[in-house]
Amino acid sequence: MNTPNKITLFRMFIAPLFLIIYFLNIKYKMLISAIIFAVGAITDAIDGNLARKNNIVTNFGKFLDPIADKMLVTAGFLALMQDGLCNIWIVMLMLTREFAVTSVRLIAAAQGVVIPANIGGKIKTVFQMVSLVSIMLIGEADIIFTLGLPLPLISNILLGITALISIVSGIIYIFDSRKVIDYKG
């Protein structure tokens, strides 16, 4: 197994570790969780760059990388939902998008085609990860905004924008998949 794929597997390990730390009743839980989550998010950039730079992009990596991303991001949404910082409908929209895109990938795989993430999916993932880390840092810092907006409102606005970006990127992904998948067979 090459190094980028090992890094991807490490990100899959980070997701449950993040949740364990997040759900502990410890001082600075949001800060520690944000750091763990950020480490996982950074590995997403590292594994892809290493694979492309060293010309070791594999079908295994193309398939596993988005799953590792989904694991980490879903863990983040579930953690925030538990604390009332993410509306269940945002999680439902995000998961529906992910199941739809994963279904398209599975159909493609059954036809011998591997469809990597597109730029929209990458933008979606970056926005999700940055939003989740930002919300945790804001929560830990207990920042009081001059507008007087409560953290759940700020969080749900950020995550709502993320959900919108996710839905749009999913629709584009599914629409573009028609070029490489035979949906009639």
**146 occurs within a structural domain:** yes
**182 occurs within a structural domain:** no
CA distance 159 to 88: 11
**121 occurs within a structural domain:** yes
- What 3-state DSSP class applies to 36? helix
Report the domain count for the chain.
1
Higher pLDDT, 145 or 53: 53
| Rounded average pLDDT over 137-149 | 73
pLDDT of residue 48: 86
* Contact between residue 74 and residue 95 where contact means Cβ atoms under 8 Å apart: yes
**184 occurs within a structural domain:** no
- Segments forming the whole domain that contains residue 74: 3-177
Backbone angles phi, psi at 160, to 5 degrees: -65, -40
2 has pLDDT over 60? yes
pLDDT of residue 148: 73
Instruction: Return the number of other C-beta atoms located less than 10 Å from residue 75's C-beta.
Output: 23
pLDDT digits (tens, 9 = 90+) for 8-18: 999 999 999 99
146 has pLDDT over 80? no
**46 occurs within a structural domain:** yes
* Contact between residue 135 and residue 85 where contact means Cβ atoms under 8 Å apart: yes
pLDDT digits (tens, 9 = 90+) for 86-122: 999 999 999 999 999 989 988 988 888 888 778 888 8
Tokens describing residue 43:
């590995």
Residues 46, 52, 53: CA angle, nearest 5 degrees: 85
pLDDT of residue 144: 58
Confidence of residue 162 (pLDDT cuts 50, 70, 90): very high
141 has pLDDT over 90? no
pLDDT of residue 166: 95
Mean pLDDT of the chain: 90
**171 occurs within a structural domain:** yes
Backbone angles phi, psi at 150, to 5 degrees: -75, 150
pLDDT digits (tens, 9 = 90+) for 38-92: 999 999 889 988 988 999 988 788 778 888 999 999 999 999 999 999 999 999 9
- CATH of residue 15's domain is 1.20.120.1760
**72 occurs within a structural domain:** yes
CA distance 125 to 65: 11
**185 occurs within a structural domain:** no
pLDDT of residue 145: 57
pLDDT of residue 136: 95
Instruction: Return the number of other C-beta atoms located less than 10 Å from residue 37's C-beta.
Output: 26
